[in-house]
Structure 1
């Protein structure tokens, strides 16, 4: 074999400063170069057993996802629904004809009038129909009242004396009522709170009375019942909530019915016309789309045919054959898991991201000097940017109603985790366990999406993959920025850090205020600001505690100490108070338990750092007492709980679910699903034979994709799979503790204030983030296994919680990776 030659220049310079000439020297044979690269790869793999094991686990988990996609049976759904009527003819449409799983069997009455064209009436007793026009939306069964109109609820008649978009005044039986969308006034005085009102409701009522209208929180006016209190207007012989007046779309609208299906006759009189809201009929002229039971239909009307194009929540069928009325015909299409339509362009982004990962890996295993110095950094920066843009595009297309295919979402998730592992720094137990948990969660969500009998369940998997791509892209850019700052030995000043934390807290508080003003307990604008608030609370508290340990080394005067203490601790205390007030409004006590777990863990971390043995012993005793209290409640029975007025029903359902079959349905169905799973899963093969197949009755469990995700996991993969999952979760929490202890040691042995503050801040921040994750694990497993009463908290990494993933878990993983890399450099 011929030996190649290579150019070589001797080091140094000649006496006159000139560089030595180039000369040819024997080089390595080509085969030797390949063998050398292979040897370096083997040696590098031997030095990174943890990385090799993590990559093997990721390959296995994403291989199972690909296998689930391949084994998923063919499913069909209607691409369009054509309704053909003759003038004067009408038809009743419901769940079967519309392929809308969350509608009633008889939901709509559609009529073709010879003069007015297509007319629609909502005949459902409890579910609304929303018509979408260019000018806005119209809710069927509701109307905006005008001045000098009157409305009648059963036998009670009210006369409207004044009405505008903000306030309505009406009278009956000599009493004048004024309602502004938040508070009901009787004869000029706000009504007292109802006897069964909770503390949060009373506080909200006081807030609405004191604040101007623009800052008030909307609360509907409920007609019916026997009490005049709060926002209730009592009417004899009328069920409470049988009619409501509420602020909707910037105006006050009267609507009939309540979610329980109780009917009330609601008539509106004005201009010589009487309108029965229960039989309100609307013209489809100018209507672009309508929403029926969470299913959206695009409307294309013609002279004698109306075409409905369903999207979002559409039923799936095993065969393209269904017996329908003669006036209804479907155009079938097969569900596509591999083709993404307009989103197929994102495959180029996936290919570009994978190329960047490959370049980074090649730079890592290649000999020095073969690649340019900054090639790896540039490739990773480009890969993180591409991934961020691709994730945002996938999320936008999903919100627009054209989600990417499941295969594309799987590729996005794989790119995100591979890119995360490709960044510099030694792989820690925390990072390895985190990426494995993320891949496991994606697998569980894909199985649930493929096993459900409707298209909407896959959106949880698609949203999680997009959120993960966004979070990994942002986290990767943050890690590169931290690496660049460390290389330049540039550090932020303390005042700058405090301003950043203050702005972060202000953003979190503004998001919480938006949820209180415009959202509900499920969030606002499809987001959960509480997740961002937990991260901000942890960062603020970590900063204050880190400064507390360096108290006597930064300032000289005691007065400065007191002023600095008030300046720094006040934001944290204010944030805890506001966060607690916001969480109390949620119809669940799980956020309070979560805060209790977090505060106990932070106090324990402080006690360990300060070597305060008495506080440590007290916290351990309190924790053991809490465990004993749970065991006592489980064994004591329900006699003592009858006297409780706060959440007594939840405890009663938890202790005796069989006696409460309706309210205990979630608990009973969950226990049945766990029993079906056994040790080896419902298929007795740890879920391998059930990959891509139907999920059965498990999808009937309320919130199975979120609060009861662990129940689905046990049903599909058995208790043996759950034990493996517990092991990875324990490894993740152990990794957080180990990284936090290293940070504490670095802070305790630091030689200057900045390094000491940095180590302590990382210690407390990691402890706080780990405490929240531990709280989620405890609450979720306790709820699913009936250890605790049902509490609505998602399981970290496993549940389909996009906000929890993007606003909490991804920042926590990024911060832990930056902390570990910084500790290596210290």
Structure 2
């Protein structure tokens, strides 16, 4: 405990030092544009302080009546107008009520159109599109020659199922297939029709170069102007600007992805003026509400610790008797309960505030994260190696995310740190409540019935499947509703499999006939197999093979856990041999890469970039930039002081690495703190995995020595659950380090504890830490 507290205190002190050393940064609080009637102005990256926009992105104009009009000048990025919850994308038009539209020289006559479908004709063919499938003369088109298995399966689903997955209709190219409508001498994707806000809209696509000429009626979508009357906000690139018009002045208030400046000075056009504000690191947002919740949490922890010292020694009473342990026990448990509830409330307040655009200051997030880590250590039960290493890894991750947020040249990068702190507080609060609930029921001798546990597992699986279905229907490979359902699915998959394997070891008390045993085995393992199949189907839709590799590592880990528990040496040898064979294949490919891989299609590109990134400078940008960042860091960091000299300072060119806050977080850490710090991080990660294995073996020994079914099942369930969770974490470590160090081809998986991943932290890591803590107590 003393060592863990010392390391945790040091890492939190480094966060505070980074905040203290962070230089002043300035950004515009408001941008005022002044135009007379009939005048116009071009605005872009410099005038709007919007780093992810073009130099000349939009045109503002006032007509003779004094109305403000806006037009998108960018060929690659959208401009979105927001009016009372509805969105209008410039360069698009609703098809309902339209008689014809034209794409370059091709004219289409609209026969019928509503919010969900459109029927149009050209060259004697009738086309119908329902938001998911394109029909030519009443028949769906064949799959494209380059369609992958996932695309073919999705196309088949849309044709036969009543609930479909929205897919856009694209124009251009020479192929008539799937949802492509070929047009000679028109760039593929030059225009498209898709569902936007519940309505079908025609929009000009974004091919390389100029957009195609798309006419909606008589209006050229490339030159579409829209009035700002009734517009509340405008999205330019990724920057959101609130709008307020008054006479000849238009005031814009930027709020997301705003460029930071070292000094409040900038030469601007005479029609544009800025009001400057300094970046707030110490006070902003609903800090008072968070501080009150944290004070309640601190009071609960202090009361619980004080009462715990007055509790009689364990020899005089049970180790977990919150009901019969006297007044001191009651006060201690009440204090822990108040602390967990206060932490949960603080995390929810911080998360809601960030989602509504009023994120707490970085200093408030620092206090929130540090308090959550202390709560993990203050909860009842002995401190295990897994919990201690997990808390230290979380502190490492918060430090790296804070440094990245302070060192990036725009305001939005701190949101990763703020979100991680809020998610950690929510996870710590929920985990604390679950631990207290488990101890309370264990002390009373009350246990859940086996049938109740199975219904709970089935409900958990149903929720995870519904979340995956929501991602397929309404989300994309990045998730749905800002969440990643796959993290919850991994936890549910592990729980179902652990339950089936735990029951498998109680085989002798079941049916004796072989046929009955086979039926029982299918009954126990079928839910896990079904869930694994559905999870694999959902993950194959992502243009990445890392989820499949992650499942392979998990399957190997679960197989080894079963072989060890069953003392099956042949199975252990087969699995270890398979792992060694996979390592040999990686080494062979690394040393003897071949261009024969190119015939494998999409996935081969990842291998070719990995084998020789210099020949693929565009697609290999992540790998090249990551390798350069690690090389610049050397053994002692880019500042030659293990990152201590650069605390709070600029991150330099490292922020240009795509997904540096997520998949390539390790590259930033090694660049900032050096390989020596990386070795320390590896040691702590190894300690966490060893701690998980030790806790799992302890649970298995308890189950093997139990004299009744419930205790035996519970010990084995905990054993397999911890092994499965540890295997997933090991897979994340292997994939992330392998990607950053070019050991494996680029595969998009966050590094557990280090990367900024709210869903991975809340839905997987925090439950795993909680389950490990409960299992170590044996309650």
Contact 1:130 1:291 in 2 (8 A): yes
**Alpha-carbon distance between aligned partners in 2 of 1:135 and 1:479, rounded to the nearest angstrom:** 42
- 1:357–1:383 Cα contact (<8 Å) kept: yes
Aligned residue runs from structure 1 range 697-708, under 5 A: 697-708=653-664
Task: Tell me if 1:752 matches 2:708.
Answer: yes
Correspondence 1:76 to 2:26: yes
Q: Within 5 A, what are the aligned runs for 1:311-460? A: 311-366=255-310, 368=312, 372-460=328-416
Distance 1:259 1:812, change over 3 A: farther
- Report the structure number with the largest CA radius of gyration: 1
Whether contact under 8 Å (1:148, 1:161) holds in the other structure is: no
Contact preservation (8 Å) 1:220, 1:244: yes
**2:76 maps to which of 99, 102, 126:** 126
Greater CA drift, 572-581 or 556-565: 556-565
Tell me, yes or no, if the aligned pair for 1:343 and 1:397 is still in contact at 8 Å: no
**SS of match in other structure, 1:472:** helix
Following superposition, the deviation at residue 558 of structure 1 comes to 6.2
Question: How far apart are 1:552 and its partner, in Å?
Answer: 2.0
Mapped pair 1:615 → 2:577: no
1:251 aligns to what? 199
**In 2, Cα distance between equivalents of 1:150 and 1:612:** 71
The residue that corresponds to 1:491 in the other structure is 447
Work out whether residues 96 and 115 of structure 2, in 8 Å CA contact, stay in contact via their aligned partners in 1: no
Query: Does the 8 Å CA contact 2:144/2:178 hold for their aligned counterparts?
Result: yes
The more displaced of 364-373 and 102-111 is: 364-373
Higher mean C-alpha displacement, 546-555 vs 804-813: 546-555
- Rounded to whole Å, the distance in 1 between the matches of 2:654 and 2:446 is 54
CA positional deviation for 1:370:
11
Kindly provide the CA deviation profile for residues 533-578 of structure 1, in whole angstroms up to 9, marking residues without a partner as x.
Answer: 0000000000000000002215577666444433332211110110
Q: Name the counterpart of 1:25.
A: none
TM-score, normalised via structure 1 length: 0.91
1:192 pairs with one of 106, 121, 142:
142
SS at match of 2:328: coil
In the alignment, the residues of structure 1 paired with residue 596 and residue 251 of structure 2 have an alpha-carbon distance, to the nearest angstrom, of: 60
Distance in 2 between residues matched to 1:667 and 1:216, nearest whole Å: 37
- Tell me: CA distance 1:260–1:547, structure 2 relative to 1, closer, same or farther (3 Å): farther
Q: Please name the residue that 1:62 is paired with.
A: 12
Whether the 8 Å contact between 2:166 and 2:195 is mirrored in structure 1 is yes
Deviation of 1:130 (Å): 1.1
SS of the equivalent of 1:647 reads helix
Query: Aligned partners of 1:689, 1:329: CA distance in 2, in Å?
Result: 37
**Partners of 1:242 and 1:262 within 8 A in 2:** no
Is the contact between residue 412 and residue 465 of structure 1 (CA under 8 Å) also seen in structure 2?
Answer: yes
Aligned residues: 767
**Contact 1:165-1:252 at 8 Å conserved across structures:** yes
Contact 2:631 2:671 in 1 (8 A): yes
Q: Is the 8 A contact 2:289 2:349 kept in 1?
A: no
Q: In 1, distance between residues paired with 2:68 and 2:736?
A: 49
In 2, Cα distance between equivalents of 1:544 and 1:734: 24
Aligned partner of residue 372 in structure 1, secondary structure: helix
Question: SS of 2:71's equivalent?
Answer: strand
1:88-120 CA distances to partner (integer Å, 9 max, x unpaired)?
Answer: 000001011001111111111000112260101
CA shift in 2, pair 1:250/1:568, >3 Å: same
SS in 2 for 1:799: coil
Shift in alpha-carbon separation, 1:479–1:434, aligned structure 2, 3 A: same
1:262 to partner: Cα distance: 4.5
Aligned residue in 1 for 2:319? none
> More deviation in 159-168 or 256-265?
256-265
The aligned runs of 1:204-215 (5 Å cut-off) are: 204-212=154-162, 215=163
Question: Is 1:268 the counterpart of 2:268 in the alignment?
Answer: no
Match of 1:593 among 544, 549, 563: 549
Q: State the match for 2:42 in structure 1.
A: 92
Alpha-carbon distance between aligned partners in 2 of 1:343 and 1:180, rounded to the nearest angstrom: 48
1:670 to 626, 651, 660: 626
Following superposition of structure 1 onto structure 2, how do residues 171-320 of structure 1 map, counting pairs within 5 Å?
A: 171-212=121-162, 215-258=163-206, 260-269=208-217, 274-320=218-264
Give CA-to-partner distance per residue, 1:130-185, whole Å, 9 cap, x none: 11112611111111113451111111111110001111001111111100111111
SS of alignment partner, residue 240 of structure 1: coil
2:406 & 2:592 partners in 1: Cα distance?
A: 43
Please give the secondary structure, in 2, of the residue aligned with 1:138.
Answer: strand
Deviation of residue 68 (structure 1)?
0.2
Match of 2:532 among 576, 579, 591: 576
Shift of 1:691: 0.2
Answer yes or no: is 1:136 the counterpart of 2:78: no
Q: Contact conserved, 1:339 with 1:405, CA < 8 A, in 2?
A: yes
Measure, in 2, the Cα distance between the counterparts of 1:366 and 1:494: 38
The SS at the match of 1:621 is helix
SS of aligned partner of 1:171: strand
Shift of 1:346: 1.2
What is the Cα deviation at residue 424 of structure 1?
1.1
State the superposition RMSD in angstroms: 1.4
Q: Cα–Cα, structure 1 residues 481 and 555, in superposed 2: closer, same or farther, change >3 Å? A: farther
Distance in structure 1 (CA, Å) of the matches to 2:140 and 2:595: 39
Mark the CA change 1:261 to 1:436 in structure 2 (over 3 Å): closer, same or farther.
farther
Contact 2:188 2:207 in 1 (8 A): no
Aligned-pair distance for 1:411?
0.6
Q: How much does 1:648 deviate?
A: 1.1
More displaced 10-residue stretch of structure 1: 144-153 or 527-536: 144-153
Q: Distance in 1 between matches of 2:328 and 2:740?
A: 53
Shift of residue 640, structure 1, vs aligned partner:
2.8
